Amino acid sequence: MKKNLGIFFLFFFILTQKVVSSENDIYKKIDVFGEVLEKINEQYVDEINQSDSMDSAINGLLQSLDPYSSYMTPEMYQEMQTETSGEFGGLGIEVGMESGLVKVISPIDETPASRAGIKAGDYIVKINDTQVQGKTLSQAVDLMRGPVGSGIKLTVRRSGEKKALTFNIIREIIQVQSVKTDLLEKNIGYIRLTSFNENSAKQIKKKINELKKNKQLKAYILDLRNNPGGLLSQAIKISDFFLNNGEIVSTKSRKKSENKKWFAQEGDLANGKTLLVLINYGSASASEIVAGALKEHKRAILLGENSYGKGSVQSIIPLKNDGAIRLTIAKYYLPSGKSISEIGVSPDIEVNEESNDFRIKTKTDNQLNYAIKLING
């Protein structure tokens, strides 16, 4: 008994020493960080703004974790809250970091960036005359912000183009109308979803009920192209509109409290009518949850291009300074258990954009035209 107690106390002592040692290492590195900041402030060739330097350091720590974690200053956090509610100022693009470069996840429909011709997958290399490489994501976003009505020049690199492309854009108030509908060919209910904000599911339900009044209606097209995602809760509700049962999505994390599953409730709002879902490389996050769930339950045919591959869940965590951090807290998985991180959701029918003048829901939209022909023959 005494021997066992001795082993226990020895193990406890070693474990405690390891914890103390680990904490000491952290405190030593914090001291080193303070010393480095002091040396920079005293000896760097140019005068620096210490507050900006601290913001950059915090953001650098978060972005070293993954491309989607980041720091928001109080001003950025306030702008983000406005953006999620459906109206904000800017260019109308969702961006992220990839290998130290700012990458366009998706342009938003009918915004300055979309009209100028910015595309999902473009790499922004220069903002006005400032090189972007070496900047943090928040620094690049700050450079793109400016007064409504002011101009900005973006230089981008695009796959398949030998030379960099330049776009002159005027900043506007961005009013996000996340849901648009139309009746195509007198018998197809077209639903265009550009983002998943707090009103998206409510709007889609209303629009579907309006479309159902047409007695000739035979099918629906749900257009998720260039939809960068948004609120997980809205993706779950919208998926549920078209499913009678089964798992929609699950999340897994190192914290058991974040391991969750969501299931569809009985009742298909579309009454089982044919459903085609359009996706492309600009379809990310919440878009991939909806597309993946509908595909795996064989409720919809996916048409277009492979999606972006953003399979992680970020939580906005407010801070004492009225700023916030966007932190990846879990990864989400499709009903089959498959993760779409860096893989994306593949279409059942692959149809690529055919021209550089391609615009969604215009004569150049060969993907939508293909979907219409598939339904009506």
Query: What confidence score (pLDDT) does residue 17 get?
Result: 54
Among 87, 144, 94, smallest CA distance to 119 is for 94
CATH for 177-313+330-376, options being 3.90.226.10, 3.40.50.10490, 3.30.390.10, 3.30.465.10 = 3.90.226.10
- pLDDT attached to residue 291: 98
Name the β-bridge partners of 263. Answer: 247
Q: Catalytic annotation on 38? A: no
Which residue of the set 296, 305, 307, 312 is catalytic? 296
Give the pLDDT confidence score for residue 87 in this predicted structure: 54
Catalytic residue of the set 70, 285, 287, 307: 285
Q: Is 107 left (phi over 0), alpha (psi -120 to 50) or beta?
A: beta
Annotated active-site residue 296? The verdict is yes
CATH class entry, domain 62-85+87-174? mainly beta
Please give the pLDDT value at position 192.
Answer: 97
Residue 89's pLDDT is 62
Domains 62-85+87-174 and 177-313+330-376 share a fold: no
Q: Where are the domains of the chain?
A: 62-85+87-174, 177-313+330-376
- From 103, 119, 237, 310, the catalytic residue: 310
110 catalytically annotated: no
Taking phi over 0 as left and psi of -120 to 50 as alpha, with beta for the rest, 185 belongs to left
Q: What is the mean pLDDT of each run of 10 residues along the chain (377 residues)?
A: 50 51 73 85 86 84 87 83 61 85 88 92 94 84 85 93 94 84 96 93 95 95 95 95 97 87 96 97 95 98 96 90 92 94 95 85 93 93
Say how far apart CA 79 and CA 173 lie, in whole Å. Answer: 12
| d(C-alpha 17, C-alpha 289), whole Å | 45
DSSP 377: -
